[in-house]
Amino acid sequence: MCTKKLKSMENTPYYFYDLDVLDATLEAIKSNIMGESFYVHYAIKANNNMEILKRIAKNNFGADCVSGWEIETAIEAGFDPQSIVFAGVGKTDEEIIIALTHKIGMINCESLEEIHVINQLATQLNVCPKIALRLNPNVNALTHEKISTGLAENKFGLTVLEFKALLNDLSELNSIDITGLHFHIGSQITTMDVFANLCERILEIIPEFEQKIGPLTSLNVGGGLGIDYDQPDLNAIPDFQGYFNTFKKGLTSLVNIPVHFELGRSIVAQCGSLRTKVLYVKRSENKNFAVMDAGMTELMRPALYGSVHKIEKLNADPVDVAQFYDVVGPICESSDCFGKDIRLPELHRGDIVTIRSCGAYAESMSLRYNGREAIGNNLKPKVSTSLRMLKYA
């Protein structure tokens, strides 16, 4: 039955989403913030598939956007504009106007010049948006250097020099309302001590903000909670309890200040996988290559970060003898490799392989390099409501 279903499926490659896992993840978040002044905004950059966005919006989450297109997509998917926060170190004038026109909840500002541009555009549109200052707390996220954003050497957030200059410019900024602070120190963080350190730094910064700018009415601590790429079935739901408890404990001295979170990967990563077909098996004296029909055009992360995803053969026969393969794609780049020396049941032309934990930063990063047909945002992905189907379909 399973083999027949597999043969009737559309051509590979495609993304496969398990909505049971997504729903369980959303429920775990809601149960852990119940009774707290905690508000979660889904980071749309992780996965902008419309079916997933609509499902998250229906669960009354907010949206974290980093472009004008994401703002408009979030509203189309059903997110309340007042629940949308707009971040990004390089917002264009056109994108800022989109945010101002839709009267979104908050704009997170990352440079002094950006603040002046928003003030000028808000004056022209006769609006007064709420602004949060993104400050760089210089906290080490203990993650990959290319997804670390909270160190002084990173491009994100106002510098100390700019913050001091802002204080001198406050009298000129009559069309914005600076009411919030925003932090985000990195991604794929699995050590809760990192978030505890962030809390300590936040508590050091708040008094200066309130003394020199005014009352703080919104605190955004970013996101960054990691997932288990090695054992996606054993740990399908991230440690939301430990994550939110860290902030409950670390920020317990704050009274009546809502805390906002921008979670992306931890919400959607484990519900998605990439299904791909073996085109050819190449053998040499000391190496086997499994050449797939998916490549870095469908899953950029291994080439970009050296990330590791669990790779499995779908419908493996128990009698298959395990062998080691370099699982590679068809793109004309040596970096087009999903994993080296991966132990898998023997592979043959036409076999289907699933690459796990691809719900985040896979479909949203897909591209047309080498003239490939981009499957992100074009093909409606297969959606399963059964964990069993995800594993064995």
Of 263, 296, 313, the one marking the end of a domain is: 263
The verdict on 275 and 241 lying in the same domain is no
Task: With respect to residue 201, please indicate whether it lies within any of the assigned structural domains.
Answer: yes
147 pLDDT higher than 50: no
Higher pLDDT, 137 or 194: 194
Q: Which domain holds residue 102?
A: 36-263
247 pLDDT higher than 60: yes
The verdict on 255 and 340 lying in the same domain is no
The pLDDT, as a whole number, for residue 160 is 79
The pLDDT, as a whole number, for residue 373 is 76
Of 263, 282, 314, the one marking the end of a domain is: 263
Number of separate domains in the chain: 2
Task: With respect to residue 146, please indicate whether it lies within any of the assigned structural domains.
Answer: yes
Share of residues in the chain with pLDDT > 70 (%): 87
380 pLDDT higher than 50: no
Predicted confidence (pLDDT) per residue in 194-210, tens digit: 999 999 999 999 999 99
331 pLDDT higher than 70: yes
The verdict on 162 and 41 lying in the same domain is yes
Beta strands in 66-105 (DSSP E): 84-86
270 pLDDT higher than 90: yes
Matching residue, tokens 């029909």: 293
The verdict on 239 and 282 lying in the same domain is no
The verdict on 274 and 258 lying in the same domain is no
231 pLDDT higher than 70: yes
Higher pLDDT, 368 or 339: 339
Nearest alpha-carbon partner for 309 in 369, 265, 246: 265
Task: With respect to residue 24, please indicate whether it lies within any of the assigned structural domains.
Answer: no
Beta strands in 57-166 (DSSP E): 62-65, 84-86, 106-109, 130-134
The verdict on 297 and 357 lying in the same domain is yes
1 pLDDT higher than 90: no
Task: With respect to residue 31, please indicate whether it lies within any of the assigned structural domains.
Answer: no
The verdict on 258 and 274 lying in the same domain is no
- Model pTM score: 0.89
CATH number at residue 163: 3.20.20.10
The pLDDT, as a whole number, for residue 151 is 45
Pair 111, 269: CB distance under 8 Å: no
The verdict on 336 and 351 lying in the same domain is yes
Distance, CA of 384 to CA of 393 (rounded, Å): 10
Task: With respect to residue 25, please indicate whether it lies within any of the assigned structural domains.
Answer: no
Predicted confidence (pLDDT) per residue in 41-62, tens digit: 999 999 999 999 999 999 999 9
Task: With respect to residue 183, please indicate whether it lies within any of the assigned structural domains.
Answer: yes
284 pLDDT higher than 70: yes
The verdict on 44 and 173 lying in the same domain is yes
Distance, CA of 255 to CA of 252 (rounded, Å): 8
Distance, CA of 70 to CA of 209 (rounded, Å): 30
If DSSP codes are grouped into helix, strand and coil, which group holds residue 227?
Answer: coil
Predicted confidence (pLDDT) per residue in 108-127, tens digit: 999 999 999 999 999 999 99
CATH number at residue 330: 2.40.37.10
Higher pLDDT, 372 or 94: 94
**Which tokens sit at 238?**
């991230």
Distance, CA of 284 to CA of 274 (rounded, Å): 27
The verdict on 68 and 204 lying in the same domain is yes
The pLDDT, as a whole number, for residue 364 is 94
pLDDT band (50, 70, 90) for residue 162? confident
The pLDDT, as a whole number, for residue 375 is 63
Task: With respect to residue 64, please indicate whether it lies within any of the assigned structural domains.
Answer: yes
Share of residues in the chain with pLDDT > 90 (%): 77
352 pLDDT higher than 70: yes
Predicted confidence (pLDDT) per residue in 165-202, tens digit: 999 999 999 999 999 999 988 889 999 999 999 999 99
Of 236, 263, 290, the one marking the end of a domain is: 263
Q: Is the dihedral of CA 34, 39, 42, 43 positive or negative?
A: negative
The pLDDT, as a whole number, for residue 317 is 84
Strands 322-328 and 311-313, bridge-based pairing:
unpaired
The verdict on 202 and 119 lying in the same domain is yes
Task: With respect to residue 23, please indicate whether it lies within any of the assigned structural domains.
Answer: no
10 pLDDT higher than 60: no
Pair 247, 199: CB distance under 8 Å: yes
Distance, CA of 335 to CA of 197 (rounded, Å): 36
The verdict on 275 and 249 lying in the same domain is no
**Which tokens sit at 63?**
């949206």
